[in-house]
Amino acid sequence: MPADTKTIPLPAPAPLSDEERIARARLFADELARRRTVRDYAPTPVPRAVIEHCLRAAGTAPSGANQQPWRFVAVSDPAVKRSIREAAEAEEREFYEHRAPAEWLEALAALGTDPDKPFLETAPWLIAVFYERFGLDAAGNKQKRYYPHESVGIATGLLIAALHRAGLATLTHTPSPMGFLNRILGRPRNEMAYLLLVAGHPAQGCRVPDIRRLPLDDYVRFL
């Protein structure tokens, strides 16, 4: 490390035996395995503090040159949620009726999705995730951002895990294109919408598609 790099001691890692490590790893994987993408929400409110802590977790993600290019807008205001729903449904109607190739619609058939997105108003929180395509200094000059997609993807993964851990259901929603989020939420031109994360409690009697997850051997090799 160059002599002028300012460092601090690494915070002490938890003192664990390998058995404890295995047990913790198993518990975490088992808990995440209970996560399901939910499209049917109860209107039950969720305190802002829950969302804040989950966003704190997201903000710990590693990022290119530590530029932390993620930006989040957490929306609970019913009027803003309604505007988002209207704009998202307009894009989705275009998608389902015109833009989507037959092959894509076939791939979606098992999920039972359609252009109607009532959850965008029912769920207590919509978290719009953006990344900075470039930075803007005070004079308006563009600054390079490194690995912004990877960085925001990792932060979003942590956010989904944190919300699940907090006992909430989520939906990673990607109406396409998502430029309307910049307009409705008043975000600057250097920010690109990445996805819209819906968060809340599942509706009573909520059902989800009967999907299977790949067994480890199908997606992992140890060498």
Chain positions 56 to 75 lying near ligand IYR, rule: CB under 6 A, are none
Nearest approach in angstroms of CB 114 to ligand IYR is 7
Nearer to ligand IYR by C-beta: 32 or 108? 108
Nearest approach in angstroms of CB 104 to ligand IYR is 7
**Do the Cβ atoms of 199 and 170 come closer than 8 Å?**
yes
Please report, as a single letter, which amino acid is at residue 101.
P
Helix extents (H) in 5-114: 18-33, 48-58, 78-94, 102-108
Give CA–CA dist 15/120, Å, rounded: 44
Torsion of CA 84, 167, 43, 195, to 10 degrees: 10
Using CB under 6 A as the criterion, what x/- string covers residues 131-170 for binding ligand IYR? ----------------------------------------
Nearer to ligand IYR by C-beta: 143 or 174? 174
Query: 191 pairs with which residues across the strands?
Result: 132
Nearer to ligand IYR by C-beta: 39 or 164? 39
Query: 93 pairs with which residues across the strands?
Result: none
**Do the Cβ atoms of 131 and 149 come closer than 8 Å?**
yes
Neighbours of 176 (CB within 10 A): 13
Nearer to ligand IYR by C-beta: 37 or 182? 37
Using CB under 6 A as the criterion, what x/- string covers residues 171-190 for binding ligand IYR? --xxx---------------
Nearest approach in angstroms of CB 111 to ligand IYR is 6
Nearer to ligand IYR by C-beta: 50 or 100? 100
Nearer to ligand IYR by C-beta: 164 or 173? 173
Could you say whether residue 92 binds ligand IYR (CB under 6 A)? Answer: yes
- 99-130: b or e for each residue (b if 16 or more CB lie within 10 Å)? ebeeeeeeeeeeeeeeeebebbebbbbbbbbb
Of 111, 142, 177, 207, which lies in the binding site for ligand IYR, with binding defined by CB under 6 A?
A: 111
